[in-house]
Structure 1
Amino acid sequence: MAEETALFVYGIVPSDVEPTENASGVGDPPAEVTLIRQGRLAALVSEIPLDTPLGRPADLRAYQELLDGTAAVAPVLPVRFGTALDGPDGVTDLLATHQDRFAAALDELEGRVQYALHGRYREGEFVAAVLADNPAAADLAEQVRGQPEEVTREQRIRLGELISQAVELSREAETTRLLEALGPLAVASAPRAPSNEMDAGYAVFLVDTERAEEFIAAAEEYAEQRRDLIRARLLGPLAPYDFADAHELVG
């Protein structure tokens, strides 16, 4: 009995795009990625068994690597991770039904890629700054220093709350600083929710490839200016996950 399969859909591209050589997708072993074309559009897909559990880190990594690699050479409209359709007819129906919307979105993405700048506070330096500026926090830190946790539990909880509040306030200001520094060099920008309790500024940017070098230089300057307090990491070029989602155009 033949194994039942579905088509995992990664993203939508112009119909003249070709998959990169040896492009691989989700699964174990990684599946071959192909294109299904319909009119002006094409979908990047790979075949997966219907009973394949998705969501492993390796699957998400394969999905992102394929889309990021595609975005480096052509506009791509990401399709939400985990989307699978019954077969080629389901994919061509999707492309035909939303041809105009998808094509317009790809036109907007032509020559543009996403970057993300993720900052995280250097914990020791940040806590030291909080204690220097907040007498109540400094007093609590003195009370718990060298004392058993079970004896100073309440003080430690209160100190943790004060530091968390300071992080939240500082993060808001840092994100504003980040957007003001890099936003003017981008077509669009947006803050991202923190992924860690010590996250500082975290934002994403849609950037014209013609201005990419200028944007990267500005990001490096920002990171250098804040290096004493923040570890900043620039990610990209990426597919425009935060600025284009095929699911948002369906309906």
Structure 2
Amino acid sequence: MTDEQPAGESGLFIYGIVPSDVEPTPDAEGVGTPPGEITAIRHGDLAALVSEVGLEEPMGRPADLTAYQTLLDGTVVVAPVLPVRFGTVVTGPDAVADLLEAHHDRFAAALDEFEDRVQYTVHGRFEEAELISEILAADAGAAALADQVRGRSEVESREQRIRLGEMISQAVELRREAENRELIEALTPYVVANSPRQPSSELDAMNVAFLVGTDDEEEFVRAVEDFAEQRRDLIRMRLLGPLAPYDFVSAHQLVE
């Protein structure tokens, strides 16, 4: 929802929806240059975290996305928050109040659903040399092709290299699917929901967001550590969180 304004005017960038008793910390900084001051616009049981931005100012710089995520991830530690799509700008306080009024009950129900729940994202990347070694050890055909191209120029072994690349790519995809399934299975006892994500690299081993109850965070983290330890020679794993529930609010269609 972006309202067009004449050049030189400002609007309000909306970060997320929170309960009405949430107060932004004095040092919270928003998007833009210089960073905008974070304020809360309240209506009923809800509040929207916002900051003023110039409508001519470009959005989407890395610093802007970092400011957006830092505010929301810091907020979710103390209160439920519904992230609003990055880049959502409206004309002013009245437009924010209208948004909160129009969707008050739906937003309030969503906040209740996310009370005491945070997102963690588990991302893993294969160690390329180890992975290819495993693939060749398991597939005699791929191993034979690898022998055929070894020591030969790319030009004279082009056909074999293409076939080998296709075989390795298919094997990586199957292994990725298996790793994602096993990760979800291992962590299901400690989570409320999961949301598989698209791989960000051809060497991605897993990329899954999990919604975790705050009472289960310690057990969840231990389970991730155990899973990572079992694969430490093959996969470099990272655990990101606690985060705002970015991958779980889309069902509520906060702002289109």
TM more than 0.5: yes
Structure 1 stretches of 4+ moved >6 Å: none
| Aligned counterparts of 1:245 and 1:33: Cα–Cα separation in 2 | 24
User: In structure 2, which of residues 127, 150, 160 is the aligned counterpart of residue 122 of structure 1?
Assistant: 127
| Aligned counterparts of 1:109 and 1:91: Cα–Cα separation in 2 | 22
* 1:200-215 correspondence to structure 2 within 5 Å: 200-215=205-220
Question: 1:169-189, CA deviations, whole angstroms, 9 ceiling, x for partnerless residues?
Answer: 111111110000011200111
SS at match of 1:243: coil
Greater shift after overlay, 142-151 or 56-65?
Answer: 142-151
Q: 1:188 to 1:122 in 2, by over 3 A?
A: same
Aligned residues: 251
| Aligned counterparts of 1:2 and 1:196: Cα–Cα separation in 2 | 40
Q: 1:204 to 1:246 in 2, by over 3 A?
A: closer
Q: Could you tell me the TM-score, scaled by structure 2's length?
A: 0.94
2:47 corresponds to which residue? 42
Question: 1:133-182, CA deviations, whole angstroms, 9 ceiling, x for partnerless residues?
Answer: 11111111112212222222222222111111001111111111000001
SS at match of 1:44: strand
SS at match of 1:149: coil
Q: Which 5+ residue runs of structure 1 have no aligned equivalent?
A: none
| Aligned counterparts of 2:140 and 2:7: Cα–Cα separation in 1 | 71
| Aligned counterparts of 2:153 and 2:90: Cα–Cα separation in 1 | 58
- 1:160 to 2:161 alignment: no
Whether contact under 8 Å (1:78, 1:240) holds in the other structure is yes
| Aligned counterparts of 2:52 and 2:166: Cα–Cα separation in 1 | 49
| Aligned counterparts of 1:188 and 1:4: Cα–Cα separation in 2 | 42
| Aligned counterparts of 1:246 and 1:85: Cα–Cα separation in 2 | 22
Q: How far did residue 20 of structure 1 move?
A: 2.2
| Aligned counterparts of 1:143 and 1:246: Cα–Cα separation in 2 | 51
| Aligned counterparts of 2:247 and 2:7: Cα–Cα separation in 1 | 39
Q: How far did residue 2 of structure 1 move?
A: 9.1
* 1:1-251 correspondence to structure 2 within 5 Å: 3-245=8-250, 248-249=253-254
Whether contact under 8 Å (1:77, 1:245) holds in the other structure is no
Q: Could you tell me the TM-score, scaled by structure 1's length?
A: 0.96
Question: 1:195-238, CA deviations, whole angstroms, 9 ceiling, x for partnerless residues?
Answer: 11011122111111111111101111111011121111111000
Q: Which 5+ residue runs of structure 2 have no aligned equivalent?
A: 1-5
Whether contact under 8 Å (1:102, 1:246) holds in the other structure is no
SS at match of 2:14: strand
Greater shift after overlay, 53-62 or 210-219?
Answer: 53-62
Whether contact under 8 Å (1:183, 1:205) holds in the other structure is no
Q: How far did residue 28 of structure 1 move?
A: 1.8
Whether contact under 8 Å (1:13, 1:106) holds in the other structure is yes
Greater shift after overlay, 176-185 or 147-156?
Answer: 147-156
Whether contact under 8 Å (1:24, 1:32) holds in the other structure is yes
Indicate the percent of aligned positions where both proteins have the same amino acid: 66
Whether contact under 8 Å (2:12, 2:92) holds in the other structure is yes
SS at match of 1:154: helix
Q: How far did residue 247 of structure 1 move?
A: 6.2
